[in-house]
A and B are shown apart, each in its own frame.
Chain A
Amino acid sequence: MAQPTLDCRGLRKVFGDLVAVDDVGFHIDAGETYGLLGPNGAGKTTSISMISGLLKRDGGSITVDGEEMTTINLAAKALIGLVPQDIAVYPDLTARENLVFFGKLYGMSGKALQSRVDEVLEIIGLADRAGDRSDDFSGGMKRRLNIGIGLLHKPNLLILDEPTVGVDPQSRNAILESVEQLSSAGMAVLYTTHYMEEAERLCDRVGIIDHGVIKAEGTRRELVQMVGEHDRIRLETTSGGLQSAVAALSELPSVVEAGAGDGLIELLVTEAGEHLTKILSIVTEAGVAVAGVDIDEPNLESVFLHLTGRALRD
C-alpha cells in the first residue's frame, strides 16, 4: 500500500487554557482532495498551521511523503504549497515579481523559474496582467495570485485555507476549477472551508471539525449514512393505483419509507441515484404514470447540523 502524501495523527494544540485542536488525525493520498469543513474558530487554521510547519504542535505526528513535518524541517516544507487565508502577496510588486520572488525562495531559478511562472500565470488566468502591480488587482485576482504562489513549485501537497472568502462568484468558480484540475493532475489537496457547497463539489473526503475535534470523516455519502440521513424522492403522478405502487416499492431493500397522497409518491431511500431506474420501473409496472421526479439528497449542512447541533455559519 502506497504511503499517503499527508498523514497526521493525534494532533493537539493548546493556547493557555484553550484546547484549540485535540486528537485530530486524517490522511490524504496523491490526487485526492480532502476537505476540513467547520465554522470559523473550529480549529481548521490551527491544524493547517501545524501541518505546514508554521506552528509547533503539542502532540501528535505529521508526515508529508514520509518526511516528518516540524517548524525547522526544510525538506518537509519544500513538499508543501501553502495558500493562507489572508491574501499573502506584495501589493507593490507585479504578479510576475511576486511569483518570481517566492519561486526563488523555493530554490527555483533561471529559465525553469521563468517558464513555470508563465505556466502558473496561465493557470490562474493572469497572464495578460503579469506586469501589473497586484494592488491594482480586484479581490478575486489577488486571490488567484495567492493560489498561484502556493502551487508555483509544484508541491506534493497543496494546502488551501478558505481560499474563496470574499471572492465574487466568477472568481470563485475559476478557483474551484483550478483546484479540480490540480487534483486531477495528481496533487494532494487539503482544503478548508465553511462553504458546504465547495466541500461537496471539490472534496473526495471530508472531515467535519468543530471545537478542535474531528466529529466525523468520510465521503459525503458515508457521512450522510453515518448520521442516518436518507435521500428523498418525490414522484409526481397523473394516473394509476398509487397504493399498489407504494406496496411494491416498500419491498425494495433500499427504500426505507414510502407513502402516497395528492397524486404524489414520497420515498426515503438510500442512494437515490443508484436505485431510481428500478423504482421508476416498479411504479410503471403498477400502472402509475409519472409526470415528474424530484430527488432531494441530504447535504453536508444537514450532516453538520446533525453532528453539532448548529449550522455551519453560526
Chain B
Amino acid sequence: MNAAWTIAVKDLKQRVRDRSALIVGIVAPLALAAIFSFVFNPIDDFEFSAQYVVVDQDGGPAARLFVDQVLGGMTGDGTIEVEELATVEEARTLVDVEVKPFAEEVESADAAFIIPPGFSAGVASSDPVSMEVMAGRGDQTAAGVAVAIAEQFASQLQTARVSTATAEFYGLTGDRAEIGLRALAVPNLAAVTDAEATSKILTGTTFYAAGLAIFFLFFTVQFGVNGLLEERHAGTLPRLLAAPLPKLAIIVGKGITAAVLGLVSMAVLVIATTLMFGAEWGNPLGVALLILAGIFAAIGIMGIVGAFAKTAEQAAVFSSIIAVVLGFLGGTFFPVGQAGGILAKLRFITPHAWFMQGLGDLQGGNVADVVPAVLALVLFGVVCGTLAALGVRRGMTV
C-alpha cells in the first residue's frame, strides 16, 4: 500500500505541475456553470405580476360579482393589481402603451376587462352575453392570464345557468338571478393543491452546476486512469514493473490519483457553485455519498478505456467520446428525463442520469432517498472497474 501511495503522490505532484487537471477539473466546469447560471438565473427568479383595469358599463349583480369577488379576490397578495376605470377609452389608452424593455416605468396595464351594458340582465335571462378582454402588447403571460380569468368566469356563469335551468325543470320558482348567484356560491368539490413530492426538479443553477460537475468528472479522472499509458509513453513503465512491488500497487496508485483528483474537483465545484451561484445541492451527507459513488463509477468506466487503449492519445480520444455521449444521454446539459419516450428510459444506462436522479431525490430532504442512485453508481463502478482491472493487468507488460 505504501508503494501505491508513493505512486499516487508522485502522479498528483505531476498533475499539479502541468495544471491540466486543474483546468479540466475545476476551472472549466466552474466557468461553464457560471455562464449557464447567469443565463438561466432569470427563470429561477421569475415572479408573476399583472396590472389589470376593468370597465364596468353594466353595474349589475353579475358584473359586480366579477369585479368585486373574482378580480378583487386576486389582489390580496399584490401579485395582481386591478383598477376600475370609468370609460373604455381610458382603458384603451393604458393597454395600448408600448412597454419597452429597460424603459422608465410608465403607467400601463397588461389587460383590460370590458363589461358591456346589459351583461347582468343577459346572464339572468340566459341570453348570450360577452365580456371583452383587451390584451396589451407588453407582458404576454399577464395578458394570457387575463383571458384565462375571463374564461373561468364564463365557465362559472355557465354552471349557474345549468343550475337555474335544473331548478326550473323541477318546478322551483323564484328570482333567477338569486338562484344563479347561489349556484355560483357553491364551493368546488375538488381542489388542486401543491403536494409535497419526494423527488423534485433541480433549480436551473443547481441542475447545471451538478450536470457540469459530473460531466467534467469523467475528464478529470482520466488523468489518473490513463496514467499507465503515460508511464508507458514516458518509458517509465518498465522501471515500475522491474521494481519490487506488485502490479496491483501500480493500479491502485493510479486509482488513488484518479479518486483524489475527482474528489477535489467535485468538492471545489459543490462549494463554489453553492457560494457563488446559489446552487442547492441538498443534504451534505447525501451529496457526499453521491459524489463518492459517482467518482467510483467514473473511474470504472474510464478505467476500461485506459486498459484497452494502445496509446495515451488514443485513450484521450476514446475518453472524450465516451464522456460526451454519456453526458448528453445522461442529461447533464438538458433534462432528458422530461423529454419522455425511449430517451428518458435509456438515460439510466449512464451514471450521469443516476447522479442527477440522486440529487433530485435528495431535494425531498431525506438522505435515504439517494440509496438507489448510490447503489446504481456503485454497480457501474464494480462492473466496469473489474473489467478495467483485468484488462490493465493483461496489458502491463513491456
Contacts and interface: CB of A to CB of B under 8 A. Distances in A.
A102 interface: yes
Contacts of B13: 93, 97
Interface in B221-246: 234-236, 238-246
A10 interface: no
Contact of B245 (A52, A55, A92, A105): A105
A250 interface: no
B188 interface: no
Interface string A174-189: 0000000000000000
The 10 closest A-B CB pairs, nearest first, are A86-B235, A74-B244, A78-B244, A82-B242, A77-B244, A88-B239, A105-B243, A88-B235, A54-B398, A104-B6
A4 interface: no
Contacts of B246: 72, 74
Interface residues of A, number: 30
B105 interface: no
Determine which residue in A54, A86, A91 has the highest number of CB atoms from chain B within 10 A of its CB, and name it. Answer: A54
Determine which residue in B17, B244, B246, B397 has the highest number of CB atoms from chain A within 10 A of its CB, and name it. Answer: B244
A84 B239 CA distance: 7
Contacts of B241: 53-54, 71
B345 interface: no
B6 A90 contact: no
B3 interface: yes
Contacts of B17: 92
A88 B236 contact: yes
A123 to B, nearest CB: 18
Given A88-B234, A93-B10, 18 more contacts: A53-B241, A54-B241, A54-B242, A54-B398, A71-B241, A74-B244, A84-B238, A84-B239, A88-B236, A88-B238, A88-B239, A89-B236, A90-B234, A101-B10, A102-B239, A104-B2, A104-B6, A105-B244
Interface in A125-167: 149
A62 to B, nearest CB: 13
Contacts of A53: 241-242
Contacts of B397: 54-55
Given A49-B398, A55-B397, A88-B234, A77 B10 contact: no
B308 to A, nearest CB: 21
A78 B3 CA distance: 14
Determine which residue in A89, A90, A97, A105 has the highest number of CB atoms from chain B within 10 A of its CB, and name it. Answer: A105
Contacts of B242: 52-54, 77, 80, 82
A216 interface: no
Contact of B240 (A71, A87, A105): A105
B207 to A, nearest CB: 37
Interface string B386-398: 0000000000011
Interface string B14-27: 10011000000000
Interface of A: 49, 52-55, 71-72, 74-75, 77-78, 80, 82, 84, 86-93, 97, 101-102, 104-107, 149
Interface string B234-261: 1110111111111000000000000000
Interface residues of B, number: 23
Given A75-B244, A77-B243, A78-B244, A84 B235 contact: yes
17 contacts: A49-B398, A53-B241, A54-B397, A54-B398, A74-B245, A77-B243, A82-B239, A82-B242, A84-B238, A86-B235, A89-B236, A91-B234, A101-B6, A104-B6, A105-B240, A105-B245, A107-B244
Interface of B: 2-3, 6-7, 10, 13-14, 17-18, 234-236, 238-246, 397-398
B369 to A, nearest CB: 44
Contacts of A106: 243-244
A102 B243 CA distance: 8
A89 B234 CA distance: 8
A93 B6 CA distance: 14
A87 B18 contact: no
Nearest to B9: A101
Contacts of B398: 49, 54-55
A177 to B, nearest CB: 23
A88 B244 CA distance: 17
Determine which residue in A49, A53, A104 has the highest number of CB atoms from chain B within 10 A of its CB, and name it. Answer: A104
A54 B245 CA distance: 12
A88 B241 CA distance: 12
Contacts of A54: 238, 241-242, 397-398
A149 B239 contact: yes
A80 B240 CA distance: 13
Contacts of B6: 101, 104-105
Nearest to A74: B244
Nearest to B238: A84
Contacts of A89: 236
A92 B13 CA distance: 9
A92 B14 contact: yes
A58 to B, nearest CB: 14
B75 to A, nearest CB: 69
A311 B10 CA distance: 44
Contacts of B240: 105
A192 B224 CA distance: 34
B243 A87 contact: no
Contacts of B235: 84, 86-88
A90 B238 contact: no
A71 B247 CA distance: 10
Contacts of B238: 49, 54, 82, 84, 88
A72 B245 CA distance: 9
Contacts of B243: 77, 102, 105-106
B107 to A, nearest CB: 68
A112 B2 CA distance: 17
A82 to B, nearest CB: 4
